[in-house]
Chain A
């Protein structure tokens, strides 16, 4: 324990933050991109770029569901699972799929998907094999190349450290309101502290909310004991009782025809005349235990799951519904998940989420850099940097400059890797990690200012290459996206152009090796002249 409460908090803030800052940067960075998960996936599948958003989207849903049901009855009448994804404001594609029989060793049954143009109901060419935005979404809580459970525990612990760092940060920031709008440029570590403070304070409600709700989303994995004590079957039983529509009927051998889907839709439209349907699932189709589940969109309600209805697939009887009669605690948990995922957000709020996420990345990055910079400034002229300082500087350069570089490489790989390449989606991810490794090698070779400068140049080139490569390999480009109002594609290309400009600005702001040497020489000469004078 330090001599005062303030010093204890400062010590805790520094070490709790420093220990996990690089992992937190990865989580925040990938999480921030995940706010545009669907848009990234659309960008990554140029085969469907020509599909236009429907004018009367909700009004066409009944016709689309009927058409797809007929297709599925023809293609896979005895599949254990059907799934229909209806067009949404963020994704204009109508897609449906059915589960194929599970092969030995497979955890889940593979799904065979078909994509349709909702305007014409014509089949679209199969999109390239890519994970798209889902890669970044999974990366931010499942990490990669390690066991999912271990990864989530690590991410939860890092989030807990982040929460402690946020609370202690508020305690030690004495001038939180006085310095709210102040940034003193070109003042060494003072400027870094200002940048750290501003990026923390400006989105403080967001930082606290996203960290707290992040832990809450995984709370049942972290703390399953109450549920395991109360319920015989533990968490499984608790979720089945809380969400009866998730209770899956056992497959049956007895064949029974599936009810006409219009009977189910009529019940939905009677309950909610303007229902906006997001998904329709069918379980054990054409058997005695068939079930139909209909998911409605959430609208602007702060809930992660909109109303859902479970119908008996043979009789059409409504068996369960959820989202309407939840307990306060169930609603609280669902709202926390909604706040974290931001799936409810329309474009304005989505961009604000993204902006706050970028502020979070800046807060973590400036914190990492400030620690190393302060230690560097305290070094005497003849003192060599410690191993710890060198390690922190290496990880700073590798992570802060490596992740944007790897992201740009992932997008470029999406366009340049051959379409027929086996396990293409995994190869895109491999390119991401190889690019990150390349930046780590640069960081290990040196951490001087010119290394940061070269890394900024590399990042700028990679970012500018994304829209260029996209324009050269697809039918559209940044300008056509603007003219045809394809905002998702235009936004992603624009984001890379903006990032490229920022990296260019960074490379200009970092003094070159020659400038540093010349400046040192001129300072030395000036001191000599002063001494002689």
Chain B
């Protein structure tokens, strides 16, 4: 569950970075991205990605840093496919990621 939490945080972070770009935001929400929204997405992206790195390193040390590099690669390729070929799914995938993040977070806390 810890690995799932780390990955979902990383994926969500890169998703925020993608949504902070004007073209991707317009493709997903069909409206213009405001400067305030861009800053919010960038801030959220940095926080979640750093949280993912922190959890990976705290949990597994150097091994965790290696895992984090892998999570980044997997997140970017999944988002590239989503935004390039199935942009209409982005909203649903974002909701799904949030749900997985919450569930894995609760599981880690309980276990």
Contact = CB atoms under 8 A, between A and B. Distances in A.
Contacts of A198: 76-77, 80
Contacts of A185: 84-85
A181 interface: yes
Contacts of A183: 80-81, 84
A258 to B, nearest CB: 37
A181 B83 contact: yes
Interface in A177-228: 178, 180-185, 198, 201-203, 205-206, 209
B108 to A, nearest CB: 16
B61 A300 contact: yes
Contacts of B73: 202-203, 206, 352, 355-356, 359
Given A302-B61, A302-B63, A349-B63, A181 B76 contact: yes
Given A181-B76, A359-B77, A335 B62 contact: yes
A422 interface: no
B17 interface: yes
B93 interface: no
B71 interface: yes
A369 interface: no
B74 interface: yes
A180 B79 CA distance: 9
Interface in A344-376: 344-345, 348-349, 352-353, 355-356, 359
Contacts of B71: 352
Contacts of A201: 76
A181 B80 contact: yes
A116 interface: no
B3 A181 contact: no
B15 to A, nearest CB: 9
B54 interface: no
B67 A349 contact: yes
Interface string B63-104: 100110111111011011101110000000000000000000
A339 interface: yes
Query: Which size class do A's interface residues fall under?
Result: 20 to 34
A192 to B, nearest CB: 14
Interface string B2-22: 010000000000100110010
A206 B60 CA distance: 18
A448 interface: no
Nearest to B69: A205
A355 B70 contact: yes
Contacts of B85: 185
A301 interface: yes
A182 B63 contact: no
B38 interface: no
Interface residues of B, number: 27
Contacts of B17: 180
A202 B66 contact: no
A344 B60 CA distance: 12
Nearest to A353: B70
Contact of B69 (A181, A184, A206, A302): A206
Nearest to A346: B63
B76 A180 contact: yes
Contacts of B69: 203, 205-206, 209, 352, 356
A349 B70 contact: yes
Given A335-B62, A349-B70, A202 B77 contact: yes
A202 B61 contact: no
B84 A300 contact: no
B84 A352 contact: no
B84 A302 contact: no
Contact of A182 (B14, B62, B74, B83): B83
A356 B70 contact: yes
Interface string B36-57: 0000000000000000000000
Interface string A314-346: 000000000000000000000100010000110
A196 B83 CA distance: 17
Given A181-B80, A182-B83, A182-B84, A300 B63 contact: yes
B24, B69, B71 interface centre (most CB from chain A within 10 Å): B69
A178, A201, A205, A301 interface centre (most CB from chain B within 10 Å): A205
Contacts of A335: 62
Given A181-B76, A198-B80, A205-B72, A300 B21 contact: no
A355 B63 contact: no
A183 B85 CA distance: 9
A183 B77 CA distance: 10
A42 B62 CA distance: 29
A41 B9 CA distance: 36
A181 B63 contact: no
Interface of B: 3, 14, 17-18, 21, 23-24, 60-63, 66-67, 69-74, 76-77, 79-81, 83-85
Counting from the closest, the 3 A-B pairs by CB-CB distance are A352-B70, A302-B62, A202-B76
9 contacts: A181-B80, A182-B84, A301-B62, A335-B62, A349-B67, A352-B69, A355-B74, A356-B69, A359-B73
Interface of A: 178, 180-185, 198, 201-203, 205-206, 209, 300-302, 335, 339, 344-345, 348-349, 352-353, 355-356, 359
Given A181-B83, A198-B76, A203-B69, 6 more contacts: A180-B17, A181-B79, A182-B84, A198-B77, A202-B77, A302-B66
